[in-house]
Amino acid sequence: MLDVNVDGREHVSLFDVSHMLQTTVSGRDQVEFIESLVVADVAGLADDHGTLTLFTNDSGGIIDDLIVTRTAHGQLYIVSNAACADNDFRHMSVGSHAVRLAFSIACGLIQALKRFVTVYR
> Among candidates 65, 69, 23, 72, which has minimal Cα distance to 50?
69
Average pLDDT over residues 29-33: 92
pLDDT in the model for residue 70 = 95
Predicted confidence (pLDDT) at residue 9 exceeds the cutoff of 70: no
- In the chain the domains, ranked by start, together with CATH numbers, are 19-105 (3.30.70.1400)
CB 114 within 8 A of CB 27: no
Q: Specify the pTM.
A: 0.72
Query: pLDDT of 86-104, one tens digit each?
Result: 888 888 887 657 677 776 6
Query: pLDDT of 39-77, one tens digit each?
Result: 999 999 999 999 999 999 889 899 999 999 999 999 999
Predicted confidence (pLDDT) at residue 8 exceeds the cutoff of 50: yes
pLDDT in the model for residue 47 = 94
CA distances to 1, 69, 104 from 120, rounded to whole Å, are: 29, 14, 11
Of 9 and 39, the structure prediction assigns the larger pLDDT to 39
pLDDT in the model for residue 16 = 65
